[in-house]
């Protein structure tokens, strides 16, 4: 055995804290600090979040274990070794946490592989692209080891939406999905509409103005589907705000979004997608990215507010701000919502730098103007079913609203931290009223601001 081997064994086992090693020939003397022996990492919680997009397995403990992993073929398996960890009942409960409907995991098992090493074997239903990373303690969470199982071939949300269609399409028998075609970009039209440029031609004084002839646009008489992306806030590892009665924001927002989705699908010329349709975590930038890949016309993020005082109440609507928050409360809320990635757990090391960076270009001002119009229309309708926390649409730097080419709003349905509003948010009838109000607001906006001529994802003949 080399003189380095004992040092490696000590370090990898994790049972002692080495201050320094003093070597003497082939032997050595191990000097320990007064701290003596450090306890091995202990895992006290495991959670599994299955979804079509990906499945996440989270191991939570009082320290981070040393880990390694490998993919085994025929059949497909993922093997994860945890060093310096003892097998316990928490790890033993892993097999019972896998649902038959999980699209990626067939079964999972854990056991002692060798002294001081626990091996987790995940039998897979399909080829996957794993991401395994650690998270430092934050909020109510301790150290976390996260195992994300993504499909080897990423799901294309646009293709999935086109293949799925909508119930209203099927009923009418009129919707035929067509591939995108080149057309005048929506960004250019939105900028031109926002600028509202005056006529450039100048007529001499006293001369009769020539009759202005407008060329008919090719899309003037084309009725196309309006694509709306609904974004239920939080999810999975990130519960969002928690009411005094124990309600989680992530559950309330998902229920309201599901009701709203069903109502939108019953409308002619509308279709809808959701950033999440189950209880799993979606990073903020991926929510924006999904809406852009779908070439969405509108983006509506749904939340349930919380404040330190339980008396705070009412509904609010927010849009993005380029110049700072419209109030200190809006700034505080945006900061809190933007911390969702830290709580939910994002693998920043593998994050696409192009997707991670959001640029506010020349189109952003025009898009924000449209967002304010959409927000005002929705806020007006929300005022019919609930008190308004603010009479106007507020603005702040919400990361989830930063698509430069999609009018985007964030709806705070009510204060989940208010006991009375918490009860209403969990009431089926009130959730339905909230969904109706948001839909009326969307339709109000579209009536005055018809969708622009962008690449046609689908059209109605």
Q: Give the pLDDT confidence score for residue 406 in this predicted structure.
A: 92
**Length of the chain, please?**
461
Q: Where are the domains of the chain?
A: 5-37, 43-151, 223-348+355-460
CATH 2.60.40.3500 fits 43-151, yes or no: yes
Asked if the model's pLDDT at residue 359 lies above 60, the reply is no
Calpha distance 53→6 (Å, rounded): 44
SS3 (DSSP) at 68: strand
**Which one is predicted more confidently, 71 or 40?**
71
Most confident of 24-28, 147-151, 395-399: 147-151
Residue 249, token pair as written in the block: 């924001």
Q: What is the pLDDT of residues 211-220, one digit of tens each?
A: 433 333 333 3
Alpha helices, H only, 266-314: 284-293
Asked if the model's pLDDT at residue 302 lies above 90, the reply is yes
Q: What is the pLDDT of residues 130-189, one digit of tens each?
A: 999 999 999 899 999 999 999 998 877 777 777 666 444 444 433 333 333 333 344 444
Residue 285, token pair as written in the block: 């930038």
Q: Give the Å distances, CA to CA, from 241 to 132, 141, 156, 253.
A: 27, 15, 31, 11
Expressed in angstroms, the distance from the first to the final Cα of the chain is 79
Q: What is the pLDDT of residues 88-124, one digit of tens each?
A: 999 999 999 999 999 999 999 999 998 889 999 999 9
* Spacing of C-alpha 232 from chain mean position: 8
Residue 66 · residue 9 · CB < 8 Å: no
Spell out the residues 6+ positions from residue 238 whose beta carbon is closer than 8 angstroms to its own.
Answer: 250, 281, 340, 343, 344, 345
- Domain 223-348+355-460's class? alpha beta
């Amino acid at each position: 055995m080399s003189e380095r081997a004992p040092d490696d064994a000590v370090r990898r086992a994790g049972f002692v804290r080495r201050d320094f090693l003093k070597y003497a020939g082939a032997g050595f003397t191990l000097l320990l600090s007064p701290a003596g022996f450090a306890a091995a990492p202990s895992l006290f919680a495991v959670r599994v979040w299955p979804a079509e997009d990906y499945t996440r397995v989270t191991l939570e403990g009082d320290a981070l274990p040393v880990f390694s992993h490998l993919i085994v073929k025929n059949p497909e398996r993922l093997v994860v070794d945890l060093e310096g960890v003892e097998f316990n009942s928490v790890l033993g409960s892993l097999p019972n946490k896998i649902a038959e409907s999980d699209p990626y995991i067939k079964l999972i098992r854990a056991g002692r592989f060798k002294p001081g090493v626990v091996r987790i074997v995940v039998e897979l239903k399909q080829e996957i692209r794993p991401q395994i990373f650690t998270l430092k303690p934050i909020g109510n969470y301790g150290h976390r080891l996260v195992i994300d199982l993504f499909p080897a071939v990423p799901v294309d949300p646009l293709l999935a939406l086109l293949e799925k269609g909508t119930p209203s399409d099927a009923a009418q028998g009129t919707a035929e999905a067509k591939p995108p075609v080149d057309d005048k970009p929506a960004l250019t039209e939105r900028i031109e509409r926002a600028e509202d440029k005056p006529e450039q031609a100048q007529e001499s004084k006293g001369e009769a103005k020539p009759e202005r002839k407008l060329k008919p646009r090719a899309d003037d008489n084309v009725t196309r589907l309006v694509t709306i992306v609904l974004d239920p806030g939080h999810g999975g590892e990130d519960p969002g705000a928690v009411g005094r009665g124990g309600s989680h924001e992530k559950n309330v927002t998902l229920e309201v979004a599901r009701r709203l989705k069903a109502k939108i699908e019953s409308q002619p010329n509308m279709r809808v997608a959701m950033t999440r349709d189950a209880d799993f975590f979606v990073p903020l930038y991926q929510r924006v990215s999904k809406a852009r890949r779908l070439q969405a016309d509108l983006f509506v993020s749904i939340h349930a507010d919380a404040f330190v005082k339980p008396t705070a109440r009412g509904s609010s609507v927010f849009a993005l701000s380029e110049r700072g928050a419209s109030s200190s409360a809006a700034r505080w809320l945006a900061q809190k919502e933007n911390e969702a990635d830290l709580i939910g757990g994002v693998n920043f090391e593998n994050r696409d730098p192009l997707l991670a960076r959001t640029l506010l270009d020349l189109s952003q001002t025009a898009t924000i103007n449209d967002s304010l119009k959409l927000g005002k229309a929705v806020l007006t309708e929300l005022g019919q079913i609930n008190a308004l926390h603010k009479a106007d649409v507020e603005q702040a730097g919400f990361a989830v609203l930063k698509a430069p080419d999609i009018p985007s709003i964030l709806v705070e349905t009510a204060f989940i931290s208010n006991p009375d509003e918490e009860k209403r948010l969990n009431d089926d009838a009130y959730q339905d009223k909230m969904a109706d109000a948001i839909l009326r607001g969307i339709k109000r906006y579209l009536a005055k601001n018809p969708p622009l001529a962008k690449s046609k994802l689908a059209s109605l003949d």
